[in-house]
Amino acid sequence: MSKQREELEHRLKLRNIKLSDYEDIREIMVSIYRNQGGAWTKQELKNQIKAFPEGQICIEDNGKVIAAALSIIVDYGKFGDNHTYDQITGFGKFDTHDDEGDTLYGTDVFVHSDYRGMRLGRRLYDARKELCENLNLRSIIAGGRIPGYSKYADEMTPRKYIDLVKNREIFDPVLSFQLANEFHVRKVITKYLPEDTDSRAYATLLEWINIYYEKEEKLIGNKKSIVRLGLVQWKMRRFSNVDDLMQQVEFFVDTVSGYKSDFCLLPEFFNAPMLAEFNDMDASEAIRNLADYTDEIVSRMSDLAVSYNVNIIAGSMPEYDGKKLRNVSYLCRRDGTQDKQYKLHITPDEAAYWGLQGGNGINVFDTDAGRIGILICYDVEFPELGRILAEQEMDILFVPFWTDTKNAFLRVNTCAKARAIENECYVAITGSVGNLPKVENMDIQYSQSAIFSPSDFSFPHDAIVAQASENAETTIVADVDLDLLTKQRKAGSVRNLEQRRLDLYSIQWKQKK
């Protein structure tokens, strides 16, 4: 990893607030609330942590708190809809917290101004919702400011203003965000925060209803069971520069993120259209020049992963260190961290045209949505690799591929399905479609993206969870259940992993990682 990329890399972590975070929190609050009373005192933060430590959530980046959401549990019936902020928080003492209460009450949410546009507020709201569900609380309620109302106060009532914001005729920096996060307005409150002149002391009483009330019991941070996969079947087209390429990438990342996908998978050599820039060179020289763009693309891909809150498997791209040309796939996690997997097996064509060389290691990567492996195209046709990953408790195998003909595609497709069955895991594959008439060795494409599973009673009988149309630019978004893998491995009709005859054979990795 280049020194520049290492310096710019985000390392986001969602966790509970500690009292030692006070100075970071105070810095943000002073900046945001300088006209509404400034920051809490350290004692007030201490009271809130003491009352309900699980409800005080923050996001840190490289150790510094950059966003926070704070809350308490209340017996809402004791306060009703006509309360003020001071009343429901006990004038900042937070002694109104009640472990036996039925409602999670949001006392504050804020994001450092340097981190605006990264959707951290949405991530905090999602964490609050998860907490509400896991504690089996009826709903989340909060008093919401309407700071944009001051511009319209002389011409309309708060109710009219709120209706126009709901209809997207007016944008309010607070209310528009809350409505987009599935909160609804119960009523308008007066004198909620008397010092809030921008809102003219009005506030919206907002509610998010927990549809799993009385069912869900797990606490925040547990391993996900249902994981949503987003696959991009990518059409090859001409791009003038990296900005054009990344605009198309962002379109698809935005699309699968909009469905709350946990992963976004792109194809092998998705950036190949930029080879057209080097048409005057021979193929081996051209692809080495293409490798010059890889650092920038990975950096921007990592920013998208953070901004859109989705783990991105960035297809694959060439990497050239001046001695070896290799094919590498980057995992850009949504917490800002990265890992990479080299293609191990190089096809005869790749070696002859480009001089590609294979990598020497293979890994399972931990993510917030399961343990994953990555095998690039040809590698999935070697069953030993899938089995080595399965022995490290891999849940999902991602296979970015590029194939030009149907028989080449069917080799990848058939072997990927076999890896899912024999290793009792999910396998997601995606490739590219279309043609690049002016790019040597990358002229035509064939793909039918798919998600495969084991084949048993808990899974589709044909082992196909989802499948795209052939040779059409599109996406697949589908859910996979990781708990079913555990069930399969312990109680399936056949149990390929458990019933191996290790007394007769084994697979040994010889190369040191």
- 410 token code pair: 């069917």
Neighbouring C-beta atoms of residue 289, cutoff 10 Å: 15
Cut 0.85: pTM above it: no
Q: Is 268 a catalytic residue?
A: yes
Angstrom distances, CA of residue 430 to CA of 235, 256, 466, 469? 11, 14, 12, 12
| Residues written for the chain | 513
Neighbouring C-beta atoms of residue 351, cutoff 10 Å: 12
Point out the least confidently predicted range of 65-69, 216-220, 397-401. Answer: 216-220
* 169 and 253 Cβ atoms separated by less than 8 Å: no
3-state SS record for 320-362: ECCCCEEEEEEEECCCCCEEEEECCCCCHHHHHHHCCCCCCCC
pLDDT for residue 233 is more than 90: yes
The pLDDT of residue 211 is 78
Q: Which residues contact 49 (CB under 8 A, 6 or more apart)?
A: 17, 18, 19, 56
Angstrom distances, CA of residue 273 to CA of 157, 247, 347, 405? 55, 14, 20, 18
The pLDDT of residue 216 is 45
The pLDDT of residue 441 is 63
Is the CA virtual torsion 138, 140, 143, 147 positive or negative? negative
The pLDDT of residue 40 is 83
Point out the least confidently predicted range of 199-213, 299-313, 471-485. Answer: 199-213
The pLDDT of residue 217 is 47
8: pLDDT confidence band, cut at 50, 70 and 90?
Answer: low
pLDDT for residue 215 is more than 60: no
263-265 vs 311-313, strand pairing mode = parallel
> In sequence order, what DSSP letters do the residues of 262-284 get, joined into one string?
SEEE--BTTTGGGGGGGTTS-HH
111 CB-contact burial (10 Å; exposed 0-12 / middle 13-18 / buried 19+):
buried
* 329 and 313 Cβ atoms separated by less than 8 Å: yes
Among 377, 381, 417, 424, the active-site one is 377
**Residue range 53-80, pLDDT digits in tens:** 999 999 999 999 999 999 999 999 888 8
Among 268, 350, 381, 424, the active-site one is 268
- 478 token code pair: 């589908």
* 190 and 174 Cβ atoms separated by less than 8 Å: no
Average pLDDT, the chain: 90
Is the CA virtual torsion 489, 495, 497, 500 positive or negative? positive
3-state SS record for 28-53: HHHHHCCCCCCCCCHHHHHHHHHHCH
What percentage of the chain carries pLDDT values higher than 90? 64
Q: Is 377 a catalytic residue?
A: yes
Among 343, 417, 424, 425, the active-site one is 343
Distance CA 465, CA 483 (A): 15
Distance CA 217, CA 221 (A): 12
Distance CA 92, CA 107 (A): 10
- 145 token code pair: 């400011």
**Residue range 428-437, pLDDT digits in tens:** 999 999 887 7
**Residue range 91-141, pLDDT digits in tens:** 888 899 999 999 999 999 999 989 988 989 999 999 999 999 999 999 999
Residue pointed to by tokens 């001409």: 238
Q: Is 473 a catalytic residue?
A: no
Is the CA virtual torsion 279, 285, 287, 291 positive or negative? negative
User: 3-class DSSP state for residue 433?
Assistant: strand
User: 3-class DSSP state for residue 456?
Assistant: coil
Helix (H) or strand (E) holding 9: none
The pLDDT of residue 439 is 72
pLDDT for residue 4 is more than 90: no
The arithmetic mean of pLDDT across residues 284-295, rounded, is 93
Distance CA 174, CA 204 (A): 10
- 506 token code pair: 């084994």
Neighbouring C-beta atoms of residue 307, cutoff 10 Å: 18
**Residue range 338-353, pLDDT digits in tens:** 999 999 999 999 999 8
pLDDT for residue 201 is more than 80: no
**Residue range 344-392, pLDDT digits in tens:** 999 999 999 899 999 999 999 999 999 999 999 999 999 999 999 999 9
Distance CA 343, CA 397 (A): 14
Helix (H) or strand (E) holding 160: helix 158-166
pLDDT for residue 1 is more than 50: no
Nearest-CA neighbor of 395 among 365, 371, 368? 371
280: pLDDT confidence band, cut at 50, 70 and 90?
Answer: confident
The interaxial angle of helices 242-258 and 294-308, nearest 10 deg, is 30
According to DSSP H, which parts of 231-382 are helical?
242-258, 283-290, 294-308, 348-354
**Residue range 484-495, pLDDT digits in tens:** 998 888 778 888
3-state SS record for 402-437: CCCCHHHHHHHHHHHHHHHHHHCCEEEEECEEEECC
The pLDDT of residue 417 is 97
The pLDDT of residue 202 is 84
Residue pointed to by tokens 């710019």: 8
The pLDDT of residue 467 is 96
pLDDT for residue 7 is more than 70: no
- 2 token code pair: 């280049």
pLDDT for residue 3 is more than 80: no
The pLDDT of residue 351 is 92
User: 3-class DSSP state for residue 414?
Assistant: helix
181: pLDDT confidence band, cut at 50, 70 and 90?
Answer: confident
The pLDDT of residue 36 is 65
